[in-house]
Amino acid sequence: MTQRKRLIGRGVLGIAALFALIQFVPYGHSHGNPPVTKAVRWDSPRTAKLFAGACQDCHSNLSNWRWYDKVAPGSWLVQNDIQGGRNHLNVSEWNKPQPDLEEVLRVIRAGEMPPLQYKLVHPAAQLTKVQTEQLARGIAATYKKDAPATRRGD
């Protein structure tokens, strides 16, 4: 039994040491938000509110960084999601090409956005079917009112 306890103790110590070491990996520590070059002009305050709760952290330069965003490996996942989100659609850089409206609406209506891992820790991102449709219609109206340039090939 003491041999087993030593083995378990060493395993716990090894995991703790590995956890401490991964904090020094230089990815996921940059929590600055780039400047807003041109903000989208939303069609309504309702669309702005729905977007802020469900999409803004990853699809704008106004991310709200939280404590768990500073601890690896969570920081790696968050950094990756935010970089990917900003690269695909960024309402803080509306002067730059954005994806085609149909693609944005497709992922919202299909429930692909926001992703499950985001919804699990952000209650405002857990939209009802009615809210999801309101967001989709609001984004469509926003694209019509304040259209961004679109990417070729999207």
**What are the angstrom distances between the C-alpha of 101 and each of 113, 140, 144?**
14, 7, 9
* Beta strands in 7-146, from DSSP E residues, in sequence order: none
What is the Cα–Cα distance from 68 to 23, expressed in whole angstroms? 12
137 within some domain: yes
Per the structure, the count of domains in the chain is 1
103 within some domain: yes
Q: What's this model's pTM, rounded to 2 decimal places?
A: 0.82
* pLDDT, tens only, 88-142: 999 999 999 999 999 999 999 999 999 999 999 999 999 999 999 999 999 999 9
2 within some domain: no
20 within some domain: no
Residue span of the structural domain in which 39 resides? 29-145
What is the Cα–Cα distance from 114 to 58, expressed in whole angstroms? 9
4 within some domain: no
107 within some domain: yes
Structural contact between residues 30 and 79, judged by C-beta atoms closer than 8 angstroms: yes
Q: Tell me what pLDDT residue 58 has.
A: 96
